[in-house]
Amino acid sequence: MSTPVPSLQIAETGYEVLHNPHLNKGTAFSEAERRAHRIEGLLPPRVCSLELQIARTHEELSNLDNDLQRYLFLSDLQSRNETLFYAVLMSDPATFMPLVYTPTVGEACQKFDHIFRASRGMYLPISARGRLREILSNWPQKDVRFIVVTDGERILGLGDQGVGGAGIPIGKLALYTACAGVPPQYCLPITLDVGTNNQELLDDPLYLGLERHRVRGAEYDAFIDEFVEAVQALYPKCCIQWEDFANINAVPILERYRDKICTYNDDIQGTAAVALAGIFGALRISGQKLADQRFLFLGGGSAATGIAELISEAMALQGMDIKASRARNALFDINGLMVTSRTDLADFQKPFALDHAPISSFVEAIKVLRPTGIIGVSTVPKLFNQKVIEAMSAINERPIIFPYSNPTSRSECTADEAYRWSHGKAIFASGSPFPPVEIAGQTFVPGQGNNVYIFPAMGMAVFATESTRVTEEMFIVAAKAVAEQVTEDNLAKGLIYPPQSRIFEASLHVAGRVAAYIFDKGLARVPKPADIDAHIRNAVYHPVYPA
């Protein structure tokens, strides 16, 4: 498989060419192209290279006052000149990831209705039930391989953003391309509008979604079923990634479709894989075995149970009984430790309920259960306070501290707090970025347990193989592939993930490992190539202008 740069074939002429983001080169149109397509006089006369356009864009961004302005600038660029947009992102992924996705996308979602510009992707309202296939067919690209879809109910740690959640699938798919080279023409961001329970949005005259409360129950399920059926009918090779659904819907949707179509939930499985990758990295520092670990989760939603289940399955692959491995992953929520005597547990939480007396204090749970690591997915900031970190440090030589909640304002603790309160003992990673920390002359580089290490690579592996399914074990393969790229020099600084400056090469490495698994398990729709890594690289999109 390869994605060669096509020759420039433009049906439109004149003004239209400059307003088609897939064809527009801006000032990079040659003099011959300007004459041929009747755009002479519509641009300044100097012909600029793509490299010069990238440099100009970097300068324009540096002159803006804040990250939301930079987000909007990049969004406008994507609507004007797609090639330049991806060339800018791929010129420095570590710099641009926080601008097109977390944490900046959170603010963009909150202000979506007040900053709306050009439309991107598709919006499918529940008011169109019975017509979803017809509406979905309005998308101009007829070979869609990836759909990232949200219903906007649980956007990051910000809650119900209604139709404003559209920023999430848009940002995710931009990273599919920027971080792993998935060709953007095969990607479609979708927002399912089933209403919102955010009264502030419903009272806002500028709100762009349906002015109604959220649909629940059988009507919601039927809408999701119709959506999946429409995607399967129109795009039979498409993988659906579910994103930022509330727990009450995220878990049942994944269970309903995971064995029927090519699909996964990044909040559940991607988050789990990046957490497991961090654990594999942490164990290289502590020198311990996975089977000897115990984890206590702050938060009991789908992210927590997803991570706990993947850790349990990884333990089971090393020979431990699955029930025993699940017992090493305890959950703690607003009502305390999840124990079998509680009557408020959802079905997806029950496998991790301990046969134990109730515990209402998180610090007390640490002292009693003696976990080697704590993982925060509560979306409530500052819950990993000094007493929590000190309790972990008292029972562990190198405590694993993972505050994974996003965005930064929702992190359970900062890197500085974890390192200082543990006196530099903590093995730390967070969901949002934090700067390096110096303790007693030693500099610690905090890792970011960002799903970006997983989902773009998973996307490239699925794209290159045309996989029929995304399985749980594929995420364990991906986690191991991430962790094996961390160098001894990285570990010496406390960094347990590959540097984000290497995200593109890291993603291709992970994609190669996952693709090999897909071929070995007979899940691919294409023949197994002699060189899988070369096959992956031949499929990569390169942001260059066609001749």
Whether 419 sits among the annotated catalytic residues: the reply is no
Residue type at position 3: T
Which element (helix H / strand E) includes 374? strand 373-376
- Alpha-carbon gap, residue 116 to 79, rounded angstroms: 13
Q: Distance between CA atoms of 322 and 308, rounded to whole angstroms?
A: 11
* CA dist 67 → 35, 75, 103, 233, 544 (Å): 39, 12, 9, 40, 26
Which backbone phi and psi does 407 adopt, to 5 degrees? -75, -165
Query: Which CA distances in Å does 41 have to 30, 49, 108, 219, 456?
Result: 13, 18, 36, 55, 41
| Backbone φ, ψ for residue 346 (5° rounding) | -80, 160
Please tell me the distance from the alpha carbon of residue 20 to that of residue 183, in angstroms, as a whole number.
17
What is the structure's pLDDT at 7?
47
Q: What is the pLDDT of residue 433?
A: 84
CB 532 within 8 A of CB 512: yes
Q: How many residues does the chain have?
A: 547
- Is 264 an active-site residue? no
**Every domain of the chain and the residues it spans:** 82-261, 269-449, 453-528
Which DSSP helix (H) or strand (E) runs through 97? Answer: helix 93-100
What are the pLDDT digits (tens) for 250-266? 999 999 999 999 999 99
> Strand runs (DSSP E) across 405-503, as ranges?
427-430, 437-439, 442-444, 447-448
Domain covering 82-261, topology: Rossmann fold (3.40.50)
Structure confidence at residue 469 (pLDDT):
98
* pLDDT computed for residue 31 by the predictor: 96
Q: What is the CB neighbour count within 10 angstroms for residue 486? A: 22
pLDDT of residue 156: 87
Of residues 259, 302, 240, 280, the one with CA closest to residue 476: 280
3-state secondary structure 121-173: CEEEEHHHCCCHHHHHCCCCCCCCCEEEEECCCCCCCCCCCHHHHHHHHHHHH
User: What ranges in 301-421 are assigned the alpha helix state H?
Assistant: 302-317, 322-326, 362-369, 386-395, 415-421
Q: What is the pLDDT of residue 103?
A: 84
Catalytic option among 25, 71, 86, 101: 101
CA–CA dist 155, 157 (Å, integer): 6
Residue 424 near residue 440 (C-beta atoms within 8 A): yes
Domains 82-261 and 269-449 share a fold: yes
Measured distance CA(30)–CA(70) in Å, rounded? 29
CA–CA dist 319, 380 (Å, integer): 35
Q: Which residues pair with 265 in a beta bridge?
A: 242
pLDDT of residue 12: 62
Torsion over CA of 414, 418, 423 and 424, rounded to 10 degrees?
-90
pTM of the full predicted structure? Answer: 0.92
| Whether 535 contacts 529, CB under 8 Å | yes
Write the DSSP symbol of residue 266.
I
Are the C-beta atoms of 365 and 354 separated by less than 8 Å? no
Closest CA to 403 of 362, 342, 439: 362
> What dotted CATH number matches 269-449?
3.40.50.720
Catalytic residue among 25, 71, 86, 172: 172
- Determine the Cα–Cα distance for residues 406 and 233; give it in Å rounded to an integer: 35
Residues of the chain with pLDDT under 50: 2, 4-8, 10
Relative to beta strand 295-298, strand 122-125 is unpaired
Query: Based on C-alpha coordinates, what's the Rg of the chain?
Result: 24
The string of DSSP letters for 392-413 reads HHHH-SS-EEEE--SSGGG-SS
